[in-house]
Amino acid sequence: MTPFIMVIFGATGDLAQNKLMPSLFSLFKDKLLPKDFFIVGFSRRDFAIEDFHKYFATEKEDPRWGVFTKHLFYELGSFEDATAYQKLEKQLEEIDKKMGSSASRLFYLATPPDHYETILDNLVATKLSAGENVKVIIEKPFGKDLETAIHLDKKLAEIFDEKQIFRVDHYLGKETVQNMLAFRFANGIFEPVWNKQFIDHVQITFAEESGIGKRGRFFDGVGILRDVTQNHMMQLVSAVAMESPKSFTKEDLRDARAKVIGSMKMADGESIVKGQYEGYRKEENVSPQSQTETFVGLKLFVETERFAGVPFYIRAGKKMPKEVVEISVVFTQTCHILFKEFGCPEIGNVITFRIQPNEGISLRFIAKKPGAKLGLESVDMKFNYKESFGTSGLEAYQRVLLDIFGGDQMLFNRSDELESSWKLITNILRKWESGKGEIQIYKTGTWGPKEADGLIEKDGRKWL
């Protein structure tokens, strides 16, 4: 791996503290980073370098943290301050002198999206953006609607080549999301039934036990439709519905994902539920009159030959009964054809991909209950990464960072994927802005408003 300097804008924010720095330290401990690497935090918090090192308290208890901090630098400055970028430029030049060569430069925008343009403009003004060995990493949400996403993409294209742009959706780095490709296309027993002839419907649940915590300033006005559905959920749908890529290469895989996302359509104007948990408007930095959704449920179709007519039911919410992200592919119940008089389970075969926690895959099938009489019951076969391989694999951000260092864009969004997903989401946002879609208040610790149950139950189905 080649030497690199990573500048993290927003280095004292939640993302850097909870994901980026722990992941970088883990990669360091596992000897997956090059000998020469440097991480420069850029933030307006008035820290000396020692304060910056101490800021990541959960890591400093490890004896190797002291060695790691020798690679860790800090630059004080606001994103609007041109002088701070000039100081940053000098610091990067000093690091190059230490190494005796010019390292790859990675600019990670771990900030709220409203700072992206300011940072990019200053990178251009100082010519820090120049050079083929420069990469820019953008966190979601990438824009706030179709118009702003296109505008940001155009700006990036004016500064960087596509091969230099890494648009992060860390869910693509999850082991189970990647394993779905192996499960579908490396096992000949599943591909013949992976279509509308055998699949009744698909359910995707993204549930968080927590509320918004200290993210009120960011989350209020953004909402879960933009924060989760536009990116994570669209990628999970594409993992289920994509055709086999021509090859397991970056562009072929992105082509397959882009085709699915471009084929997504809402079932109709009524097949969406907008919810907000009780007490949300009393959270810190949230408007007392907020109409921001903390829950969204929707029904959509993927209009491809393989999945035409198969409904995808999606729900994402905060303050839910438990923390879980999973995809359930529900097959058409055929048990009644032969065994109707013996009593068939309501739901037959289901393949569930558990993305978190305890990543793994389960297969539900129908078996005869022990006894003299014929009775049928659903049972599960389960695969768990930790039990089968002795490890859960790399954490998602570790995988993402390694691919950035290696220049592999396979697990990163391409501009056409983003544009297609924003078209779908922006249509929903426009309806909400016009007054359609009244927000439904739901109790904390529940699966969202009752209207979310109605979304699927009106079709004679139930949430699993």
Just list the catalytic residues.
232
Q: Would you state the structure tokens that stand for residue 110, as one six-digit string?
A: 């771990």
Which residue matches tokens 């882009």? 258
Q: How far apart are CA 285 and CA 371, in angstroms?
A: 61
Cis bond upstream, residue 34 (ω within 30):
no
Per-residue b or e along 70-100, where b marks 16 or more CB atoms closer than 10 Å to that residue's CB: ebbbbbbbebeeeebbeebeebbeebbeeee
- d(CA 330, CA 176) in angstroms, rounded, equals 18
Q: Which residues pair with 41 in a beta bridge?
A: 8, 74
CB 382 within 8 A of CB 364: no
CA nearest to 233, candidates 313, 322, 331, 153:
313
How many Cα atoms sit within 13 Å of 48 on the Cβ side?
A: 1
User: Would you call 192 helix, strand, or coil by DSSP?
Assistant: helix
**Helices then strands (H, E): number in the chain?**
18, 16
d(CA 284, CA 318): 16
d(CA 359, CA 350): 17
Q: Name the nearest CA neighbour of 432 among 274, 322, 229, 287.
A: 274
Determine how many CB atoms are found less than 10 A away from the CB of residue 67. Answer: 11
* Residue appearing with tokens 């390694």: 402
Distance (Å) of CA 145 to CA 153, 207, 293, 461: 12, 23, 16, 32
Residue with tokens 């989401």: 425
Whether the bond between 141 and the residue before it is cis, its omega within 30 degrees of 0, is yes
For residue 51, what are the contacts with CB-CB under 8 A and spacing of at least 6? none
> What size, in residues, is the chain?
464
Which position has the token pair 């039990």?
A: 387
- Name the H helices within 357-443: 385-389, 396-406, 415-433
